[in-house]
Every structure is written in structure tokens, then in C-alpha cells.
Structure 1
């Protein structure tokens, strides 16, 4: 009962604060940034690799495993089925907003892998509500704490930004540890849904700080994270970035671009194998396992996007 009361107070406080601050942030973003020219967005020529993307989706699905000890010991069903050999370093969950990520080393790729979990489903109601508080805080702020001392232009989603800051110190520490242990390894960052948004924050933070100068990010069902200036800066700094999406996935179409100026980052590849936000490339985030044979998902099912500068609703 006490926990429920505390949660309701937290939710009420959050709603009140958002109601008070949102007009200020909207006015700031609208009056001073609406007409700012960010320059032409550079089209990514990073080639889509279906096998690599499916492996990243398997990692993203594994992030939804509720028993963190199964991830720490790498004994979950998907771990043993499609991701054998991975060496986990850490699994972390934020107690306030129930955010989660894990990281480790993949010897088959010679890559350090950073994976963020998306929103919980209704089987974990408290975590689901807390995650959606993050999702719905869509007013824009400057990403002042990303990139260390270097300034990142544009505005970002307040909820995603604050959520990542809850994990930021721990993420950076563990990425530094992994790099020290495997100095020649690449860095892959991935996540599904809310996890994809957190992956965007982490990738640009790591890149601008210079921890990795050419990280690879492959996300799934990711919402818009920042405005046009932020998206263009991200695409310039992280050219090896792919966003896999279903054409009908409503979560990838928020926040709306028309009112707040949000834009997607990276190159878009369409997954037409299903229309469920919970399933990408044959992997279900609900059951944390493969739903169909990967052979039924040829790369030809995916189409690269055109430049963000193009007037395309799905792309904007």
C-alpha cells in the first residue's frame, strides 16, 4: 500500500511539473529554434546487413528477460539459442523509472555490445507506467549533459534525455571497461522501442566524448528523439546508423514532426515481415525468443530510406 501511495504521488508530481514547464519549453523551442537552418542532412551510405541486424534484434529481445541473473550468466533461452559465446559484463536497472541495459563482449563479431531495454508490457504494470511517463514527456530540452564538454546542437526529447541520464554514469564506466579489455573491438549499440531512444542518446554521448570515434547503432521500432538540428548532427557523427521499422508501427511516428519539429536519425530500413510493434525480424520482445526462422526474412524485404531532407511522412 505504501509503495502504491508513493508511486501515485510521484505520478501526480510529474504531471503537475510537466503542465507547468511544457509551455516554457515549447515557447523556447518554437520562438528561438523554429526558423534555424541546420544545413542539409547527409545521406548515410552504410550498408544494411540482414544477418547482423537479426543478431542485434536478438540482443534487443534478450534485454526484456525479467530474470537478470539469466542475463548475467547468459543462460536465457535466446542466449543459448542464437547468441552463444557472448560474455556479459553488467546488467543494470534504474530503480526510479525501471530502465534497464546490459553490456558485454561478442567474440564472434569482435565487438563490445551495449543493449537497452524498451518499455515493459502489462505483465509488469508498475514498470510499464513508469516507462510511459518517460515516453510521454515529449517537450524539448538542450542535451547539455551529452558529449562531455563539447556542445551538441539542437533539442532532444526531455523524457528520453532524463532517462538516459539516470544510466549515463554507469554506461560510460562500463563502456570504458570493455574498451580497455578489448581495445581492438568495435562498439555496437542497439535497442527496441524506448530502448532504441536510449541507444540514440548513448551513442551520440559516447561518440562526441571520443570513447569510440565510429560506433555502429542498429535500432528497432525507435521513436523520434530530437529535432532536425540534432538529427543532422547525429547523422554526421554516427554515419553507421540504421533504424529498422515497420511502415505501420505507430510508435515510430511519435513525437509528431509537425508541432515539435522532431526528426528520425540514421538510415531507415523497412521490415515488412509483420505489423506488430512487439516483433521485429522474427524476434518477439514479449516472449524474448525467436518467433520464426530468420531464413524467412530475406534482406530484399527491406528498403533504405531517402534523405531526411525529403518530405516523406514516414521518414520525418
Structure 2
């Protein structure tokens, strides 16, 4: 799933629908070996610049919805939209304005593709994934697709907080599985601050391993709770380089 998230940074995977998902810098060999192909790819011209693809993986029988992380000025503007707005996902639930708008911008194309692929491949599992900003959008995509009746698994890497605690608890309780991966002292999962009434989807799968070291199964720590202050949130001193390192070197070179 990390490699599907990484592949969303590669231009070839968001401007040429219908071809194989590949990474010219070698960051997604498992995806390439699975012979995954895109059903749709999108690079929005709207303010949020939401970018990604929906792919079909015949090897693992997956429908994968992947969103790119921050890679443009518009993306950073979206990240800084700390204001919370109501959402229809549950009563009394609020969500980060920029992240919600990003999902709304991509929702028509994504839901149409997921619906078509699900009809054609009824035994395939649906997955949403993304790194950084992409993980935030993937979280809302999973919640909305689940509300529409789809069984969706969610995998995020270094994602920021998305919503208030009520919505975070709602998404946590939805069926499908939530796998929120954080790494060492990555600063991004700590924004927006808890003091702004933001919370995380639970549980957290924390990689207790510094940069540039191979990750072992024993390096993972699992922490429950939408406002837990252990794992990644326990760090007072952070390192932005930890944000670009998940299961190895998280490269975005292939976008260039």
C-alpha cells in the first residue's frame, strides 16, 4: 500500500489513464509486478489541485484509490485551511475545510470509477491510500465510500489530522479496516493541533525506527484512541525528513 501511495507522485500515473501503474525511480516494484492498470487518472485544475488515480490490481484482486501528497502551491494552501466545516458523514461532525474540499473535487470521478470497477469485479477488495495530504483525502474517501455501502480498507502514511473527535470515532468504527501508519518524529501527523479540536482515526501503527534503517515487524507499535499522545505524538522535537521515509526512502523524484 505504501508503494501505491508513492506511485501517486509520478506524473505518468496521473496524466495517462488506462496504462500500467509504474514508477520511473523504482519506488513501486511490487505495484509494477502486480500488473496494476489505471481506470482513471486525474490532476485537477481546481484550487485544491487534488491528484491521483483509481487502479485495478488483478494479482491481488484490488481496486485501489490513491491520492498524491503535497506537491504544489495549491496543495500547501489546502493544508493550511485549518478552518473546520460541517460534513454529512455523521451528525455533529466537522472536518478540515481544505481536505474536505479536496475530496469533494475528486469524488464524482472516483465514485463513478469505483462503482464501475466493483460491478465488473465484484470479488475485488476496495482500498484507499495516500501519503501526507493524500492520506487525509484517502481517509475522507474511505469514510464516504463506506457510507455509500462499499467495504473499504484505509491505509495512510504520515497523514495529518482530518476532523473533530466525533468524526474520527465514526470513521474508526466503520467496517473495512483502518491502518494509519506514522514514522518516528514525523511532524505532519501532529497538524492541525489537538487544541484546534482535531483528532486522528484510530489505531495508529507507529514505526519506532529512525530514518535510513530497515523496518522490521518488531518495530511497529499499535496505539488506540483518536487523541492518543503516544507514538508519533509523543515527540516534542520533530524532523521533516522523517515525513519522507516510510519503509525505506519515500522518494518523489519520479514527479520531476
TM-score category of the 2 structures, normalised to the smaller one? 0.7 to 0.9
Deviations along 1:3-52, one digit per CA (max 9) or x if unpaired, are: xxxxxxxxxxxxxxxxxxxxxxxxxxxxxxxxxxxxxxxxxxxxxxxxxx
**Runs in 1 of length 4+ with deviation above 4 angstroms?**
69-72, 309-316
Q: Work out which structure has the larger RCO, using CA pairs closer than 8 Å and 6 or more positions apart in sequence.
A: 1
Residue 87 of structure 1: how far off its partner (Å)? 2.4
Flag the 1:103–1:310 CA change in 2: closer, same or farther, 3 A. Answer: closer
Match of 1:301 among 203, 211, 219: 219
Matching of residue 156 in structure 1 with residue 104 in structure 2: no
Per the alignment, residue 249 of structure 1 pairs with 186
Equivalent residues in 2 for 1:1-316 (5 A)? 56-67=1-12, 68=14, 72-74=18-20, 75-77=22-24, 78=26, 81-83=29-31, 84=33, 85-96=35-46, 97-120=48-71, 128-144=72-88, 146=89, 151-210=90-149, 212=150, 214-238=151-175, 240-258=177-195, 260-275=196-211, 296-308=214-226, 310=228, 312=230, 314=232
Q: Distance in 2 between matches of 1:308 and 1:76?
A: 34
Residue 166 of structure 1: how far off its partner (Å)? 0.8
Flag the 1:61–1:310 CA change in 2: closer, same or farther, 3 A. Answer: closer
For structure 2, the residue ranges without an aligned partner over 5 or more in a row are 235-256
Residue 307 of structure 1: how far off its partner (Å)? 2.8
For structure 1, the residue ranges without an aligned partner over 5 or more in a row are 1-55, 121-127, 276-281, 283-291
Identify the structure with the greater helix proportion. Answer: 1
Give 3-state SS (helix, strand or coil) of 2:129's partner: strand
Give 3-state SS (helix, strand or coil) of 1:262's partner: coil
Flag the 1:76–1:153 CA change in 2: closer, same or farther, 3 A. Answer: same
Aligned residues: 228
TM-score (norm 1): 0.67
Deviations along 1:202-226, one digit per CA (max 9) or x if unpaired, are: 000000111x1x3111100000000
- Calculate the aligned-residue CA RMSD, in Å: 2.3
TM-score (norm 2): 0.81
Give 3-state SS (helix, strand or coil) of 1:248's partner: coil
Of structures 1 and 2, the larger Rg is shown by: 1
Name whichever of 216-225 and 236-245 sits farther off. Answer: 236-245
Q: Distance in 1 between matches of 2:138 and 2:167?
A: 15
Contact 1:104 1:178 in 2 (8 A): no
Contact 2:5 2:66 in 1 (8 A): yes
Residue 71 of structure 1: how far off its partner (Å)? 7.0
